[in-house]
Structure 1
Amino acid sequence: MTAELVRGQNHPLPHTRLEIRVTAGAPVLACVTLADAGGTVPGTEWIAHPGSPTLPGVEVSRQAAAALRFHVDLEAVPERVHLVHVLFALPEGVGGPDRFGGTAAPFAAVTSTDGTEIAGFTLTGLDTESAVVALELYRRQGAWKVRAVGQGYAGGLAALLGDQGLPEARACAATIQEAVARHLASAVQAPLPAAPDGARARPDSPAPGPAAPQPGPVTPPPAPPGPVPPQACPPTGAGGAVNYTHPGRRTSTPPPPPPAAPPAAPGQPPRPVAGDATGWSMDERLYNQVWGMFEDLARAVAAYRSAVDFAESRMEQELDRVLSDPRNRIGRAGDTAREAARAKHDELTARAREVLDRDLAQLTAEAEVVEPALPAAYAGWDNPVWHAYRVPMEIPMALRLGDVHLPERPDLRIPMLVRLPLERGLWIDSGRLGSEAAMTMDEDRLRRLAMDTAVVHAARLLAVYPPGEFTVHVIDPAGAGAAALAPLTSSGVLDGPPAAGAAGVSAVLAKLTQRVDLVQMAVRGGAAESLPPDLDTAEQLLIVNDFPHGFDDRAVTQLRYLADEGPSVGVHLLMVADREDAHAYGPVLDPLWRSLLRITPIPDSHLADPWVGHAWTYEPPTVPQGSRVVTQALGQVAAARRAWRR
C-alpha cells in the first residue's frame, strides 16, 4: 500500500533501486545532491543536475518539464554518502512562474522499478519559494528510508545549495539554470493546455527504452525510453557564437486545440483523431499521442497477462484443494472437479481476452489515423510525407528509430521516438550472439545489414535538421562499409571521405575530441563568443564501423570520452560493432556499451518499457524495395547545404 507522507514523516524503503516521479503545475528542473553524515555536500561532483545528469547510482533528467522521472540505485551510491536529497526548482528566464505559490502543489512519488508506488508526498504550503528540498533518502542502521522534507527557499537554488554547505553555491546554481536554458529546444516550457473533452491528456514523456530502451525503449524511452542534451545551433554564417536557443519554439499563447473527434455511434468508443494529445504544436501533440499509445498498449497487455496468470493460479488452487482428498483423485468426482476448474479458467481467460481485443481494436484504429498524419521525422520511409519532403527550417522534437510491438498483436506497431538532440549515442549491434535470429544469419550479411541500418539512421538525422546544423563523419578503417555508405558518399552530404586506417581514425577522433573540449570550456566559462571562427558549431555525428579495427589504446580512450562527454555539447556516436570483436579489452569497454542505446539490424526482443517491463520486439527502419526515397532526401539535403554555404 502506498504511504501518503506529510512533512517530516518517514517511511522504510523495501527496495534500493527506485524511480522518482515528479508532477507539477509548471515545468520544474530536478537535482539530486549526495551528502555525508553531517548533511554537507562537499562539492559540485556530488550533484546530479541537468547539466551533469549522472552520478554513481543516480541519473536525473536534462530537461525541465511538468512531469519528470529519474532513477536512483541506493546500492550503487558511494559508501560515504549518507543522505540523498531530491530537489526541485523553477527554471529562470523562460516565461514561467517565479514562485511555487503561483502553481499547483508539486507531487513527488517514490516507486520501485516495476512501477509499484512506495510513498508519495504533496508539497503543500509553498508560497514565495522557487526551490525546494522535496525528499530525503537516508541510511539508518544499515537500511534506507525516505523522509518528506518540503523545505522551500525564496532565494532559489543558490540559497538551497548554500544551505547544504556547497562551496560556490551561486555559481553552481547559475550553471544548472544555464544548462536548462540550453535545453529549451527539447523541453516543454509551460504547462500544457487542458485537453478538450474526450481527448487524452498526456504528460511530457521521456524516450523506447527502448528506449530505448536503456536498452529499453522504449529507452525511452526510457525512457526510455529520457533526458535531452543541449543543442548547439550554428549562426547564419560561418563562425560566430554558439546559439543554444530553439529557433521556433513558442512560449506564449498555445495554438488552437486539436480538432474534436467525429461523433461515434451510440455505445461505441469515440473515433480516434490524430493529434488528440496536449501540446504547443501539432508535432508535439503527435509525439505525446504516440507515447500515450505506447503506454496504453503496455498497460492493456499487462492487465491481460495478469488476468491469465490469475486464472491459471486459481485453477491450480482449486484442483489442489479438491484433489488433496485421495477419494477424489480417481473416478467421476476427480474428472468433474477438473472440468469445473478448467471451465472457470477458460471463462476468466476469455473475458480478459475480450477486454484486450477491445483495447487493441481501439489502439489499432488510432494507429491507422496517426501514422498518415506523422511529420517526416516521425514517419516511416513508406509514408507519403517523404514524397513531399523539403529540408526543414527548424529542428523537430523527436526522431523515429524504428517500431516496437508485443506478441499479443504483432501487427500493431508503435513508432519508437527519441527526443532530439540525441541524449546518448546509438549502437547497432552486428554481433550474432545478441539473439536467436542473429545466430541463424550469415555473419557477413548481418554486418552488411547493420551498416545499412546505420546509413538509414544517419540519412534521417541529416534530413530532419536544417541546412548546416548537422554534420556526419565516418570512420571505416578497412573500407568494409564502402558499399553500404554509398548513399552518403555519392550524395555529397559528407564533408570528407570516410576515414581509413589508423591515421584516419586518429585524425577524426582528435578533431572531435578537441571540439568537445573547446565547447565545454566556452560554456563553463560563459564565453561562447570566444570559440574559434572555424569551429563547426553544428551537431556532429560520428559513424564508426569495424570497431576496434584501426583503434589503438589512445583512440579507444578518445572514443569513450566522446561517448561520455560528447552528447552534452552536440557530438554523438553511431557505432556499428560486434561486442565480441572487442572482447580483448574486457570490462574496460563496459561503460562504453552501457552509454549507448543498443538497437539491432534485425527484429529483436530486447527493449523494455518503463512502466511494466514488457520485452518489446524492436523492428529496425526499412526502406521499401526499389524505393529511392532516401537518395532523393539526401540529394535535397546536399543541395540545401551547398546553398547555405554560399
Structure 2
Amino acid sequence: MTAELVRGQNHPLDRSRVELRIAAGVPVVAGMTLGDERGGLPGAEAVVHPGAPRRPGVEVPDRAAAEHRLTVDLDALPAAVHRVSVLLALAARSGAPATFGAAPAPSVRLTAVDGTGLAGYTVTGLTAETAVVAVELYRRQGAWKVRAVGQGYSGGLAALLHDQGLARAAEVAAEVEAAAAPDPAQEIPAPAPVGTSAPVGTSAAGAPAAAGPVDYRHPKRRSTPAPGPTPPAPAPSGAPAADGPPPPVAGDAAGWSMEERLYNQIWGMFEDLARSVAAYRSASDFAASRLEQELDEVLADPRNRLGTAADVARATARDRHATLLTQARAALDRDLAQLTAESEVVEPALPPAFARWDNPVWQGPHVPLERPMALRLGDLHLPEVLDLRIPMLVRLPLERGLWIDSGPDSVVRGAEPGPEREFGRRELGSALTDGPPDAAEIRRLALEAAVAIAARLLAVHPAGEFAVQVIDPGGTAAQALAPLVETGFLPGPPVPGAKGVAPVLEGLIRRVDLVQMAMRSRAADALPPDLDTAEQLLIVHDFPHGFDDRAVTMLRYLADEGPAAGVHLMMVADRAQAQEFGPVLDPLWRSLLRITPVPDAHLADPWVGHAWTYEPALAPKGSQVVRQVLTRLAEARRAAARTEPAGPPLPPTH
C-alpha cells in the first residue's frame, strides 16, 4: 500500500531500484542532485538535469514536461552519495504560470519498477517559489529512506543549488534552463490556477501580487480540488484523522538492533524538526518581505499615500501577510503534532544510555553486557517549539572530549527574561535560584553536570570496563564528587594542589603510549599486568589552577591521542580564566565539544544551521537518582568481580 507522506515525514525503502513519477499539470524541469553525507554538492557533476540526464544510478528526462518519470538504482550510486534530492523548476514558457502558487500542486509518486506504489507526496503550500526540492532519498546507517521535503525557492534553481552548497550555482542553473528550453512548436497553454474564486490581483508593476488560495489539506484527504478558499474543518484536538498517517512506533527506523533503530529514529526526528522549522522561518521571512514590498509600492506614488484607497491597500497587504503567516504556522503545527506524538512513544522506550534521569528505566538494577552505541548528553529545542525536546546523543566511545563551561557566559544568550529562558529554567530540574544564576551557582551546576555524565558513563558500560579519575587542584569539588567517592568509583578525594596534577596526567599518558604500542604491534598480551585497560574518563576541574606549561602540554596530548586509546577528557572550566595561556590552548578548545550547565543556544545542526538551545541532562530537583544508580552499580560490580576475576579487553581502535 502506498504511504501518503506529509512534509517532513519519512518512509523506509525496501528495494534499491525505484521510479519517481511526477505529475505537475504544467511544464516543469525535473532533475536530481547527488549530495554527500552532509547534503552538499561537490561540483556541477552532482547535478543531473536535461543537459546531463544520466549519472551512475540515476536518469532524468531530457526536456520539460507536465509529467515525468525518473529512475534511481540505489545500489549503483557512488559510495560518496548519501542524499538524492529530486528538484522541480517551472519551465520558461509563454503563458505558463510564473510561480508554483499559481499552478496545480505537483505530486511525486515513488514506485517499484513494476509500478507497485511505495510512497506519495503532494507538494502543497507553495506561493512565490519557482523551484522546489520535492522529495529526497537519503542513506543512513546503510539503509535508504524517502522524505517529503517540499522546500521551495523564490530565487529559482540558482537559489536552490546555492543552498545545497554548489559553488557555481548560477552558471549551472543557467545551463539547466538552456538545456530545457522548449521548442516553440511544442508549447502548450497553461491551465487556469486551481481553486481560485476571484481573479488574481496585480501589483503596481503589473506582476502577480497574490496567487489563488492554496489547498493545505493532507494529500490523502484531498480528492478533486474544491472551488473557493474555505478549508475543511480541522479534526478535534488530539484526535488523529482516520485516514491520516499511521500512529508512530518506537524503533521505526533502520537498524540491526532496537538500540540502533531508536538512535536512527531520534536523529531522523532531529532532522525533521530542523527542516520543518526552516520551512516555517523561510515562509515567515517571505511574508514579511512581501508585506514590505507591497507597502513600498503603495507609498511609491505620493498621490496614493493618503486617502481611503491607500488605507484599503495597506489593510489588504497586512491581511495577506497575516494569511501567509497563518498558513505557514498551520503547516508547522501539523509537522509538530506528528513529531510530538512520535516523541511521546519514543521517550519511554529509550534504554538507559538514551534516557533522561527521570525515566523509570533508571529505577531498577542495570548491569549492561556490552557498551551502548551512544550516550545522551542533554536535550535540544528551538524557540518556535519550546515543549518539544530532542535528545542530544553522541556516539560511544567518545571521539571528542567535553568542555563544560563553568563561566558566567554560559548563561542563555540574551539575559533578558523571555519564554525560551523561562522554559529552560523551568525544565532544567536543578536547584536554580529565583533570579539569574550567579557565578558560584554556575560553577556548582557545571560540576553537577560532570558528575551526572560520569555516572551515566559508568552505568552504561559493562562491569570493570570504565573508570573515572579527577584532577581538582583547588580542592573545591569534594561535595559534588561525594557520590563517586562513597560508592568506590573514586578511591578518595582528589589530591589538591599541583602535586595532584602531574601524577595523574603522567599515568594516563603512560597508559595511552602503552596501548598505542600494543595496538600497532598487535601484542595486547604484552601489556604490563598492573595496567588498567578499562576506558578512562579524566575530569579536570577548575582549570587552569595548578597547571604549569608542562601540565598544559600533557593535557593537550591526552585530548589529541587519548580517545583512540580509551582515555577521554572532560574539562570543567571557565574559558575566560584560561586566557593567560593565550593561543596555545586554542587547539584544545577546538577539539572539545562545548556544553553548558544551564540552557544555552550555541549548538548548530548539520542540515540548516539552526541555533539550538541545549539543556544539560541533570537529575530532577531533589532527586537522589544519580547516587542510587551508583550505589546499585557498585554492588553489582563487586558481585561481578567475585565471579569474573578476568580483566576487560583493550578498548577498540577508531
The answer on whether the counterparts of 2:351 and 2:361 sit within 8 Å (CA) in structure 1 is yes
TM-score (normalizing by structure 2): 0.60
Please give the residue correspondences for 1:6-85 in structure 2 after superposition, counting only pairs within 5 Å: 68-69=37-38
- In the TM superposition, what is the alpha-carbon distance from 1:637 to its structure 2 partner? 2.0
Please give the residue correspondences for 1:458-469 in structure 2 after superposition, counting only pairs within 5 Å: 458-469=454-465
The answer on whether the counterparts of 2:399 and 2:563 sit within 8 Å (CA) in structure 1 is yes
- Alignment partner, residue 270 of structure 1: 246
From 274, 280, 283, the equivalent of 1:304 is 280
- In the TM superposition, what is the alpha-carbon distance from 1:352 to its structure 2 partner? 0.4
Distance change >3 Å, CA 514–CA 616, structure 1 → 2? same
Q: Which amino acid aligns with 1:369?
A: V
CA–CA distance in structure 1, aligned partners of residues 325 and 74 of structure 2? 49
CA–CA distance in structure 1, aligned partners of residues 337 and 75 of structure 2? 38
1:583 aligns with 2:559: no
Q: Secondary structure at the match of 1:485?
A: helix
Distance change >3 Å, CA 553–CA 603, structure 1 → 2? same
- Alignment partner, residue 292 of structure 1: 268
Please give the residue correspondences for 1:340-351 in structure 2 after superposition, counting only pairs within 5 Å: 340-351=316-327
From 519, 523, 526, the equivalent of 1:527 is 523
Q: Which amino acid aligns with 2:597?
A: P
- Alignment partner, residue 514 of structure 1: 510
Q: Secondary structure at the match of 2:626?
A: helix
Q: Which amino acid aligns with 1:336?
A: V
- Alignment partner, residue 227 of structure 1: none
From 300, 303, 313, the equivalent of 1:324 is 300
1:472 aligns with 2:468: yes
Q: Which has the larger radius of gyration?
A: 2
CA–CA distance in structure 2, aligned partners of residues 73 and 485 of structure 1? 49
CA–CA distance in structure 2, aligned partners of residues 645 and 299 of structure 1? 49
CA–CA distance in structure 2, aligned partners of residues 336 and 302 of structure 1? 32
Q: Which amino acid aligns with 1:273?
A: V
1:399 aligns with 2:375: yes
- Alignment partner, residue 620 of structure 1: 616
Q: Secondary structure at the match of 2:594?
A: strand
Q: Secondary structure at the match of 2:528?
A: coil
Q: Secondary structure at the match of 2:380?
A: strand
From 401, 407, 416, the equivalent of 2:392 is 416
Q: Secondary structure at the match of 1:315?
A: helix
From 596, 601, 604, the equivalent of 1:608 is 604
The answer on whether the counterparts of 1:307 and 1:352 sit within 8 Å (CA) in structure 2 is yes
- Alignment partner, residue 106 of structure 1: 78
- In the TM superposition, what is the alpha-carbon distance from 1:269 to its structure 2 partner? 2.2
CA–CA distance in structure 2, aligned partners of residues 615 and 403 of structure 1? 13
The answer on whether the counterparts of 1:473 and 1:495 sit within 8 Å (CA) in structure 2 is no
Q: Secondary structure at the match of 1:410?
A: strand
- In the TM superposition, what is the alpha-carbon distance from 1:189 to its structure 2 partner? 12
CA–CA distance in structure 2, aligned partners of residues 438 and 634 of structure 1? 37
1:313 aligns with 2:289: yes
Deviation readout 1:65-123 (Å, 9 max, x if unpaired): x984599999xxxxxxxxxxxxxxxxxxxxxxxxxx99543253599xxx999xxxxxx
- Alignment partner, residue 250 of structure 1: none
- In the TM superposition, what is the alpha-carbon distance from 1:307 to its structure 2 partner? 0.2
Distance change >3 Å, CA 396–CA 266, structure 1 → 2? same
The answer on whether the counterparts of 1:472 and 1:495 sit within 8 Å (CA) in structure 2 is no
From 467, 484, 490, the equivalent of 1:488 is 484
- Alignment partner, residue 547 of structure 2: 551
Deviation readout 1:330-361 (Å, 9 max, x if unpaired): 22222122111111111111000000011111
Q: Which has the higher contact order (CA 8 A, sep 6+)?
A: 1
Distance change >3 Å, CA 607–CA 116, structure 1 → 2? farther
CA–CA distance in structure 2, aligned partners of residues 293 and 520 of structure 1? 38
Unmatched 5+ residue regions in structure 2?
1-14, 17-34, 44-72, 88-138, 149-238, 416-435, 643-654
Unmatched 5+ residue regions in structure 1?
1-24, 27-65, 75-100, 118-187, 202-262
Please give the residue correspondences for 1:67-466 in structure 2 after superposition, counting only pairs within 5 Å: 68-69=37-38, 103-108=75-80, 191-192=142-143, 265-436=241-412, 440-466=436-462
The answer on whether the counterparts of 1:402 and 1:619 sit within 8 Å (CA) in structure 2 is yes
Q: Which amino acid aligns with 1:521?
A: M
Distance change >3 Å, CA 329–CA 190, structure 1 → 2? closer
CA–CA distance in structure 2, aligned partners of residues 438 and 475 of structure 1? 33
- In the TM superposition, what is the alpha-carbon distance from 1:497 to its structure 2 partner? 3.7
Distance change >3 Å, CA 71–CA 443, structure 1 → 2? farther
Deviation readout 1:12-37 (Å, 9 max, x if unpaired): xxxxxxxxxxxxx99xxxxxxxxxxx
Distance change >3 Å, CA 541–CA 70, structure 1 → 2? farther
- In the TM superposition, what is the alpha-carbon distance from 1:264 to its structure 2 partner? 6.8
CA–CA distance in structure 2, aligned partners of residues 73 and 556 of structure 1? 39
Of stretches 524-533 and 585-594 in structure 1, the one that deviates more from structure 2 is 524-533
Q: Which amino acid aligns with 1:299?
A: R
CA–CA distance in structure 2, aligned partners of residues 479 and 271 of structure 1? 53
The answer on whether the counterparts of 1:264 and 1:270 sit within 8 Å (CA) in structure 2 is no
- Alignment partner, residue 560 of structure 1: 556
The answer on whether the counterparts of 2:536 and 2:566 sit within 8 Å (CA) in structure 1 is yes
Instruction: Give the percent of matched residue pairs that are identical in Structure 1 and Structure 2.
Output: 66
Q: Secondary structure at the match of 1:269?
A: coil
Distance change >3 Å, CA 110–CA 624, structure 1 → 2? closer
The answer on whether the counterparts of 1:438 and 1:602 sit within 8 Å (CA) in structure 2 is no
- Alignment partner, residue 536 of structure 1: 532
- In the TM superposition, what is the alpha-carbon distance from 1:455 to its structure 2 partner? 0.4
Of stretches 434-443 and 378-387 in structure 1, the one that deviates more from structure 2 is 434-443
Distance change >3 Å, CA 116–CA 472, structure 1 → 2? farther
Q: Which amino acid aligns with 1:407?
A: P
Deviation readout 1:217-242 (Å, 9 max, x if unpaired): xxxxxxxxxxxxxxxxxxxxxxxxxx
CA–CA distance in structure 2, aligned partners of residues 334 and 404 of structure 1? 46
Q: Which amino acid aligns with 1:472?
A: V
Deviation readout 1:383-422 (Å, 9 max, x if unpaired): 0111123121111111000100001111101111111111
- In the TM superposition, what is the alpha-carbon distance from 1:315 to its structure 2 partner? 1.2
CA–CA distance in structure 1, aligned partners of residues 347 and 339 of structure 2? 12
Q: Secondary structure at the match of 2:501?
A: helix
Distance change >3 Å, CA 266–CA 390, structure 1 → 2? same
- In the TM superposition, what is the alpha-carbon distance from 1:524 to its structure 2 partner? 2.1
The answer on whether the counterparts of 1:473 and 1:540 sit within 8 Å (CA) in structure 2 is yes
Q: Which amino acid aligns with 1:583?
A: Q
How many pairs does the alignment contain?
Answer: 421
- Alignment partner, residue 221 of structure 1: none
CA–CA distance in structure 2, aligned partners of residues 110 and 270 of structure 1? 27
- In the TM superposition, what is the alpha-carbon distance from 1:318 to its structure 2 partner? 1.6
CA–CA distance in structure 2, aligned partners of residues 315 and 386 of structure 1? 52
The answer on whether the counterparts of 1:428 and 1:454 sit within 8 Å (CA) in structure 2 is yes
Distance change >3 Å, CA 67–CA 463, structure 1 → 2? farther
